[in-house]
Amino acid sequence: MKKISLLIIAAIFTLSLQSCRETTQEKTEDAAKAIGEDIEAGAKKAGEKIEKGAKKVREEIDEEIHNTDDLNGEEATDDAS
């Protein structure tokens, strides 16, 4: 009777460990997926900011080329007067 009880306890213990492993694996997979989504969202946001900055730089360069850059409400000149 003692041997049967020990075998049953060992079987239950083994099954409980297996169940915990599956749960842990599922949680790990969910966490990895969430991290991937966060990285993707962050990269998209960074890309948008880079594009916005590049547009601003293009506009500033265009203003300098065509002497339409405003400095304190006055048109800027390249003369060192």
Q: Which two tokens stand for residue 26?
A: 């599922």
Residue 47 has pLDDT above 90, yes or no: yes
**Residue 8: which domain range?**
2-66
How many structural domains compose the chain?
1
Residue 64 has pLDDT above 80, yes or no: yes
Spatial CA neighbour of 63 closest among 77, 51, 42: 77
Higher pLDDT, 78 or 60: 60
**Residue 67: DSSP 8-state:** T
Continuous H helices in 1-81: 2-65
Whole-angstrom CA distances from 75 to 24, 59, 61, 62 are 65, 15, 15, 14
38 in a domain, yes or no?
yes
Instruction: Please give the backbone phi and psi of residue 71, each rounded to the nearest 5 degrees, phi first.
Output: -130, 110
> Taking the chain, what is the end-to-end CA distance rounded to the nearest angstrom?
106
79 in a domain, yes or no?
no
72 in a domain, yes or no?
no
pTM score, whole prediction: 0.50
77 in a domain, yes or no?
no
Residues near 60 by beta carbon (within 8 Å), at least 6 away in sequence: 69
Read off the pLDDT of residues 9-41 as tens digits, 9 standing for 90 and up.
Answer: 887 777 776 666 677 778 888 999 999 999 999
75 in a domain, yes or no?
no
